[in-house]
Structure 1
């Protein structure tokens, strides 16, 4: 492994780490609402909920947006990156999830743009950040990460896997605060999701951004109900 490839790998780890200040620790992605209504109880139900989110929503919508946004950024095509951004934004039906994604995207761009200033592709990242700041594009988390991945020299598959890992860790962290879920159970759930996520990577990479899909009706309804709950620990 060369020094440059090692640096790219370390950057990918940094972006996927829960230590990275994207603000996603404050979101349960509907889990809090599911738990409060008794729809999710125990480790088995948490695994099923998280698996459904990844397979039926995160990968086929955010994942497709991420890899296509990275490809657009590589071509210097911010018009297409913005089109992808708006398309993904419109697919997030619950207001809380739209807001959560855009807040994460802004944080990703704000934190990484100065860090990657020395990289060859950093200008695209800077320009996209400006578009988000000017409200010309919403700046969803997946699209922002796709643009940043190009600037950092991270390939699409690695960025996609990092995004899924970060999402899963965030939901499991929320689950540990909402339910009696041990660290060992959380790790078992996380490991069990490696295979279904890995099996979909090639398919997701091959999809055109206009072929994004998402179908998690119960989770969407839970998120919509959550914003009206009187007592909330999480922002979504």
Structure 2
């Protein structure tokens, strides 16, 4: 495993489209649920242990060589909101595009995924395939997914609330141990799917109804800063 490769894939500046999305933070700010560093931390914690865990497990399973079609279907089933499903697929498409330029050695994997999902697979599934193509493991993919569940939200909130960047980074730092544990749980679930042969039913299915409702409301709101 190359640490530099892992750092590049997890970097918010990697051109995978994440900078245009708030992970539900914009809708939460508008609804008054996120308004300072403390409320941001609780929002991030909830997101981490629901959609973050699901994403970590999907990414780990894909990195282990799980069937991307079955995993994509499982991601669909765990994302009730059409708006959030669309956002996930757009992010997956952009991530795959970036990976094909940056880590061309994985082109066989990327090409097969692109042919199967011409309009984009779910972001977490693509993340696992990209990690595998870049020479990373299931744990790396799970960590990227879990970390992204909180880091992107914290960055977006700096713009949304004019929050002190030091405070936003402090939120992510305080959640670091939980991010690690969620990634570990994701690897366990991914291993159950692929290695133990339990199938996609072994994936976690933690939901976050307010994120789903906020995602739908966000699509029809005016003056948005972020796509989701």
Q: What is the alpha-carbon distance in structure 1 between the residues aligned to residue 29 and residue 178 of structure 2?
A: 24
Q: Of the candidates 32, 41, 44, which is equivalent to residue 47 of structure 1?
A: 41
Deviation at 1:16, TM superposition (A): 1.0
1:17 pairs with 2:17: no
Query: What does residue 77 of structure 1 align with?
Result: none
| Secondary structure, counterpart of 1:72 in structure 2 | coil
> CA 1:155–1:226 in structure 2 vs 1: closer, same or farther (change >3 Å)?
same
Q: 2:86 corresponds to which residue? A: 99
Instruction: Quote the residue 1:146 is aligned against.
Output: 128
Aligned partners of 1:104 and 1:140 also within 8 Å: yes
Q: CA deviation at 1:216?
A: 1.1
Who is 2:197 aligned against? none
Moved more, 141-150 or 195-204: 195-204
| Equivalence for 1:214 | 206
2:57 paired residue number: 64
Rounded to whole Å, the distance in 1 between the matches of 2:142 and 2:122 is: 14
| Further displaced range: 214-223 or 145-154 | 214-223
Q: Give TM-score, length-normalised by structure 1.
A: 0.85
**1:109 equivalenced with 2:101 (yes/no):** no
Q: 1:130 aligns with which of 115, 131, 145?
A: 115
Compared CA separation, residues 215 and 167, structure 1 to 2 (3 A):
closer
Counterpart check, 1:88 vs 2:82: no
Q: Report how far residue 129 of structure 1 moved.
A: 1.9
Instruction: Say if 2:78 and 2:207, in contact at 8 Å, map to a contact too.
Output: no
Quote the residue 1:230 is aligned against. 222
Structure 2 residue 137 is the aligned partner of structure 1 residue 155: yes
**Structure 1 contact 9–154 (Cα < 8 Å) conserved:** no
Once the two structures are overlaid, the 10-residue window that deviates more, 185-194 or 156-165, is 156-165
- Give the Cα separation in 2 of the matches to 1:28 and 1:116: 26
Aligned partners of 2:63 and 2:131 also within 8 Å: yes
State TM-score, norm by structure 2. Answer: 0.88
Deviation at 1:171, TM superposition (A): 0.8
How far 1:90 moved relative to its partner?
2.9
Alpha-carbon contact 2:44-2:153 (below 8 Å) kept = yes
Per-residue deviation, 1:55: 0.8
